[in-house]
Each structure stands twice: as structure tokens, then as C-alpha cells.
Amino acid sequence: MKIAITAAIVVAFTFLARPVSPQDPAPIEKCRADLASWTHDFSYTDTNRTDAILSYQQLKDRSAEANQCALMDDKEPYHGASIDLQGRYSTIMRDRLYDFLVRHSMTDQFQKEDANGLR
């Protein structure tokens, strides 16, 4: 059951993580600077600890920016970091959403509504 819930959250979240205005991308220089900062100069040292303290909105914003950066910069290590971070932030948000459902005893309600086609 957890897999079905997680899959539904991932699908829903994929649409939420998309940038709102793709015609206004962040400049490549900003992307590269942010990616270097978020990955601790691409060493990924302590990123789990630092990512854990980010708010949901910060994760969502970073995920959207990383997605936009991946689309506009194919140079490594930036492109790979963009894809990695977008996936990492999406996973953290998905896990937080699932934990919210469990914490508030809403998993049964979610499963019933999903089984009834409410998506």
C-alpha cells in the first residue's frame, strides 16, 4: 500500500515541481552558483543534513530551479548536479508528504478516495 501512495504522491508532485514560468529561466551563472552552493562545491558533503532543514517551499523552489538549470545547461558537472538535486528534493518532499498523511492518520482516507478515482 505504501508503494501505491508513494507513487500517487510522486505523480502529483511532479506537476507541482515544474517551474511556473518557463519563459523566464534563471541565468546560467545563477544556476551554476546555486548548484555549487547546494552541493558544497559538488562534493555533496553533509547535503543530507543541510537538505533536512530546508522548508517544503525552499525544497520546491530549489527543485524547480534545478529542473530549469538542467534544461538550459548541458555542461558537466552542472547538468548532472541539476538532475541529481531535482530528484533529491522531489524525494524529500514526497517523503514529507507521506509522513504528513501518516502523522494525521489520513492514509486510509487517501487510499479509499484513490480507489474511488479521486486523483
Per-residue pLDDT, 119:
83
Average pLDDT, integer, range 35-51? 92
Q: Provide the pLDDT confidence category of residue 1 given band limits of 50, 70 and 90.
A: low
Residue type, position 43, single letter: S
The per-residue pLDDT of the chain, averaged, comes to 85
Buried b (16+ CB within 10 A) or exposed e, 28-41: eeebbebbeebbee
Per-residue pLDDT, 3:
62
pLDDT over threshold 70, residue 114: yes
Length reported for the chain: 119
Q: Please provide residue 118's backbone torsions phi and psi, each rounded to the nearest 5 degrees.
A: -85, 105
Per the model's pLDDT, the better-predicted residue between 99 and 4 turns out to be 99
Per-residue pLDDT, 79:
94
User: Which residues 6+ apart lie within 8 Å of 18 measured at CB?
Assistant: 64, 67
What is the tens place of the pLDDT at every residue in 50-91? 999 999 999 999 999 999 999 999 999 999 999 999 999 999
Neighbours of 69 (CB within 10 A): 25
The residue to which cell 538542467 is assigned = 70
Per-residue pLDDT, 102:
96
Please state the domain extents for the chain: 2-115
Task: Tell me how far apart the alpha carbons of residues 11 and 17 are, in angstroms, rounded to a whole number.
Answer: 10
> CA geometry: angle at 18 spanning 2 and 79, to 5°?
100
